[in-house]
Amino acid sequence: MGVRALRVADARPRVGLDTDDRTIPHEARWIGSPAEAGAVHLDKGCYRGQETVARVHNLGKPPRHLVLLHLDGSADGRPEPGEAVTAGSRTVGRLGTVVDHYELGPIALALVKRNIAPDTALVAGPCAVAIDPDSVPSDDAVQAGRLAIERLRGR
């Protein structure tokens, strides 16, 4: 078994393979210090896209999130990285790395829309796929910026 399978099982994306040109750090779980395996530290320096990153961190939620997908191993073929993940006829995400894991079987990473429930029936290429519910990030926390706005409004 390769390092790629371990990386995918741990939901660690690779730039360009599991991301696209619209990916922001929040979607790929790259926020935080290097000790937290983060690539973007919110307390240091200036960088391109800083305003978008700060706005999502303080006020909003990312439009997509990275999830682990379990692929139907009985399908005739495997989907390719970059293929669309669909729910019915609607495109809801983008497929990343596809690998065979020694315990989990065929798995993949995908960026999917945040409002897609883990039990939604999805398809990628020739395979039915299912979101691993443990890989869905919890986004029920209230952001610091929202709390500050509520305090200013007296709520």
Strands 122-124 and 127-131: antiparallel
Domain spans, the chain: 3-135
| HSE-CB for 49 with a 13 A CA cutoff | 11
User: Rounded to whole angstroms, what are the CA distances from 108 to 50, 64, 91?
Assistant: 29, 16, 17
To 5 degrees, how large is the angle CA 134–CA 140–CA 145?
Answer: 135
Whether the model clears a pTM of 0.75, i.e. scores above it, the answer is yes
Q: Please report which confidence band the pLDDT of residue 36 belongs to, taking 50, 70 and 90 as the band edges.
A: low
Round the CA-based radius of gyration of the chain to a whole number and report it: 17
Read off the DSSP letter of residue 13. -
Across residues 23-52, what is the average pLDDT?
Answer: 71
Give the pLDDT of residue 61: 80
CATH architecture classification, 3-135: 2-Layer Sandwich (3.30)
Look at residue 132 and tell me whether its pLDDT is greater than 80: yes
